[in-house]
Amino acid sequence: MKATWFHLQRSRIAHSRGSHGTRFVPWAFSGTNPRHKPRAVATSGPLRFLLLAAVLLHFAPLQGRAQETLTSTQLNLSFSYQLPTPPTPESVPDPKFFTLNTASSNPVSFTAEVQIDNPDDITWLSATPASGSTPQLMTVSVNPAGLAPFTYRGRIVITAAGASNSPFTIEVTFDIAGDRELRVSENVLDLQAAQGGAAASQNITLFTIGTHLGALRFDTSTATQSGGDWLSVSPSEGTAPQGLTISANPAGLSQGAFIGAVTIADTSVRTVLVQVRLTVAASPPQLSVAPAALLFIAAPGQNPASQPLQVQNAGGGQLGWTAETATSSGGNWLSVNPTTGTAPSSPQVAVNSASLAAGAYNGSVTVTVLPASGGGSVSVPVGLAVGVPAVGIGGVVSGASFSTEAVVAPSSIASLFGVNLATDTASATELPLPTTLAGTQVLVNEVPAPLFFVSPTQINLQMPGEVAGTAVTVVVVAGGVRGLEGSASIAPEVPGIFTLNQQGTGQGAVLLANTEVFAAPVGSVPGRSSRPANRGEFLSIFCTGLGATSPPVPPGEAAGSSPLSETLQTPVVTIGGVPAEVSFSGLAPGFVGLYQINVPVPQGAPTGDAVPLVIQIGGRSSNTATVAIQ
């Protein structure tokens, strides 16, 4: 508490009964102010009561000091400006001044703010300084740059704490005279667009005319009679002269005519109007054919069932089409019926393989749009395997997630599905993994792939590490017979989490770190120990497709433990949507193509028997597995 530098105390009275002689004032000051040291004041008779009243009145202003009143030498400022030809910096109006003070000339602190009535987006008025103490000479300036002939209004607002007339305003007017206004190169635009197609646009020029040429600030607005907000202009504001792009977006509009307008206003709110008519025509026909490829499997001497093509019109209007076939070998074994039609339709594609020798054959069906419908064509490749191995379309997938996206990563564990892939079922029993197993090979871009397992309909392999690009050829050779060439899509990283059901769903292959206990509900894994993990407890997640490692490991060989092969990128792991800190990401020692990620269960992770687990790396997300958390 701040000390009070005075207080009142009672003094003794020295006098003689019945005497009217010298007396002491019964109240006196005491305190720390050197100007008010304790003292006695000699007085006589009733004068002491007057002195007492004076003392009390002197200290009455404990209620506060009287407020100041702001004053100014100018309450209104007027500027005028004649647009020059051409405009020059020297023609800008000179600043004007006023002195800010108080009626008592006592200093007060203040701030000065500029307010502009029109236009509200251009700061043509300024005042300095922005703050200070009275008395203060204030400088007020105006800038006509970009302004059209007009009368502009604003004010300087002075705010001072303790001033009875705060806020205090100085009104400002700015008259600009001259001949300058906006014009456009075209006032009427006729735009054409296809229904559901791309936006139509046209460029125009915004410029100024008049005796006093020069720049003018502008802004724009758009309006349409119907169809919603399909009209736009760019840029929407700026300084003329300026090129403008008027655009009409037909998205969501029906076929027909639509009317709109672009209004361009200068700072005086004088406007220029651009009328826009948009004609939306029916979208042109657009051919769509599915599936993208066809595969036929036939035993020697037999014909497989026909397969349909779906011919669709993804655009507007009517789409007429014709279809024809071609083969690269084996003669004319491929046909389509009908060979002409109008979309939508489903022509049937058939093969006549009964007379063909065992082998792999390739052909195509080409669907062509009739010229009256706009032209264009789509070719569908057709593969025929007669008694030979064949990889299914989209048949090479992650060996962990089995994602139908059918994209795999180099050095990852993959599964290949097809027919006639092997004459027997066999699993690799030694390391490095063999590239021939039970007489079967898988050639990826003609490079033999290490094999874990082969069967007539499925092969588990490690993708070679040296493949690049976005697609590779895949061929199975079984018993010396080369099969029909297929393909696989690849990407540098394609994360997949192994799951206990071996289908890429449900309980993940996740162990409590440094144990053989699954992070799963108690008793849920037959023949194995399991329990939910605690928050903060470390997990080991087993997966594949995490990409390149350092040091690299040759295809088919098991990863070492000294040094560990760590991924070049650190994956993002979430448990129940909560990020987990990755302490290790790399190849699992002693295994081929198997990756391991170690993470602690986040403290904020939810609990439950099936908490979602996801890995992200290289812009791709894994399948969603689950773990048990308690």
Are 457 and 419 in contact by the 8 Å Cβ rule? The answer is yes
- pLDDT of amino acid 472: 96
Q: Which residue has the higher pLDDT, 466 or 48?
A: 466
- pLDDT of amino acid 6: 31
Q: Which residue has the higher pLDDT, 579 or 469?
A: 579
Domains of the chain: 7-63 (no CATH), 70-177 (2.60.40.10), 181-281 (2.60.40.10), 287-386 (2.60.40.10), 390-490 (2.60.40), 496-629 (2.60.40)
Distance CA 569, CA 584 (A): 11
Neighbours of 334 (CB within 10 A): 23
**510-539 mean pLDDT:** 97
Q: Say which DSSP state 53 is in.
A: H
Find where tokens 């657009």 sit.
286
**90-99 mean pLDDT:** 86
- pLDDT of amino acid 269: 72
Q: How many CA atoms lie within 13 A of 481 on its CB side?
A: 19
Token pair for 284:
């042109």
- pLDDT of amino acid 87: 53
- pLDDT of amino acid 74: 93
| pLDDT class of 573 with cuts at 50, 70, 90 | very high
**309-316 mean pLDDT:** 92
Q: Which residue has the higher pLDDT, 121 or 595?
A: 595
pLDDT at 43 over 50: no
- pLDDT of amino acid 20: 37
Q: CA triplet 542, 543, 548: central angle to 5 degrees?
A: 120
Distance CA 347, CA 1 (A): 97
**396-409 mean pLDDT:** 95
- pLDDT of amino acid 40: 36
- pLDDT of amino acid 368: 97
Q: How many CA atoms lie within 13 A of 32 on its CB side?
A: 4
pLDDT at 432 over 80: yes
Q: Could you tell me whether strands 287-290 and 340-342 are parallel, antiparallel, or unpaired per DSSP bridges?
A: unpaired
- Among 460, 461, 546, 540, residue whose Cα is nearest residue 508: 540
Are 603 and 535 in contact by the 8 Å Cβ rule? The answer is yes
| pLDDT class of 89 with cuts at 50, 70, 90 | low
Q: CA triplet 340, 344, 347: central angle to 5 degrees?
A: 45
**168-188 mean pLDDT:** 90
**49-75 mean pLDDT:** 58
Are 263 and 231 in contact by the 8 Å Cβ rule? The answer is no
Span 119-143, pLDDT tens digits: 777 889 999 999 999 999 999 999 9
CA distances from residue 84 to 87, 153, 180, 391 in whole angstroms, order as listed: 5, 21, 10, 81
pLDDT at 351 over 50: yes
Span 19-36, pLDDT tens digits: 333 333 333 333 333 333
Residues paired with 68 in a beta bridge:
163
| pLDDT class of 208 with cuts at 50, 70, 90 | confident
- pLDDT of amino acid 122: 80
**238-252 mean pLDDT:** 93
**95-109 mean pLDDT:** 94
Hey, CA dihedral for 514, 517, 520, 525, is it positive or negative?
positive
Amino acid type, 83: L
- pLDDT of amino acid 86: 58
- pLDDT of amino acid 44: 42
Q: Which residue has the higher pLDDT, 194 or 338?
A: 338
| pLDDT class of 146 with cuts at 50, 70, 90 | confident
| pLDDT class of 56 with cuts at 50, 70, 90 | very low
- pLDDT of amino acid 118: 81
pLDDT at 604 over 60: yes
Least confident range from 119-133, 397-411, 462-476: namely: 119-133
Q: Counting beta carbons within 10 angstroms of the beta carbon of residue 604, is it exposed (0 to 12), middle (13 to 18) or buried (19 or more)?
A: exposed
DSSP string, 344-355: SB--EEEE--TT
| Phi, psi dihedral angles at 90 (to 5 degrees) | -65, -15
- pLDDT of amino acid 149: 87
pLDDT at 558 over 90: yes
Q: Which residue has the higher pLDDT, 542 or 281?
A: 542
- pLDDT of amino acid 578: 97
pLDDT at 52 over 60: no
Q: pLDDT averaged over the chain?
A: 88
**212-229 mean pLDDT:** 89
- pLDDT of amino acid 90: 57
